[in-house]
A and B are shown apart, each in its own frame.
Chain A
Amino acid sequence: MTPIKLNKDQIQKIVLSVIGFIGLIYCYFNFFLGPLNRSRESMNKTIAELQAKTASSKNEIKKTDNLETEAKQATGRYEAFKRTTAEGAPIAWFPPKMRTFFSNQGIDKGNVRLESSADFSQPELSNWLKDSWVIDLPQSDYGVLGRAIAELENTEALTSVQKVSIRAIPDVPQYQQVALSVQTVLVKK
Chain B
Amino acid sequence: MALQLNLLHEEITEERQRKRDPLKLGVIALCFFGAILFVYYGWNAYQTLQIKGQLNAAQAEWNAVEPKTTAAQKRAIELHQIIDSTKVLDGLIEGRFYWAPFLAIISHCVAPNVQLTVLDGSIAEGDHSIAVTLEGVAAAREPRAAAEDLRQLLIEQLEKKYSTPKVTFKNLEDLDTLVNVSGVPTASARFVLSINLNPKGAEPTNANEPAKEAAKPK
Q: How would you classify the secondary structure of chain B's contact residues: helix, strand, loop or mixed?
A: helix
Which of these, A67, A160, A163, contacts B122 with CB under 8 Å?
A163
B163 contacts across to A, CB distance below 8 A? none
Residue positions of A touching B, CB distance < 8 A: 4, 6, 10, 13-14, 16-18, 20-21, 24, 28, 32-33, 36-37, 39-40, 43-44, 46-47, 50-51, 53-54, 57-58, 60-61, 63-65, 67-68, 71, 74-75, 77-78, 81, 122, 124-125, 127-128, 141-143, 145-147, 149-151, 153-155, 157-158, 160-168, 173-174, 176, 181, 185
- For the A-B complex with A61-B69, A147-B207 known, give 18 more contacts whose Cβ atoms are closer than 8 Å: A6-B22, A17-B27, A24-B33, A33-B40, A47-B51, A50-B62, A53-B62, A60-B69, A63-B76, A124-B85, A124-B87, A128-B89, A143-B212, A149-B100, A150-B98, A160-B97, A163-B120, A164-B99
Q: How far is the CB of B56 from chain A (nearest CB, A)?
A: 10
B33 contacts across to A, CB distance below 8 A? 21, 24
Residue positions of B touching A, CB distance < 8 A: 20-23, 25-27, 29-30, 33-34, 37, 40-41, 44-45, 47-48, 51-52, 54-55, 58-59, 61-62, 65-66, 68-69, 72-73, 75-76, 79-90, 92-93, 96-101, 103-104, 107, 115-123, 204-207, 209-215, 217
Provide the bound-state CA to CA distance between A82 and B196, in Å.
34
Q: Are A64 and B72 in contact (CB under 8 A)?
A: yes
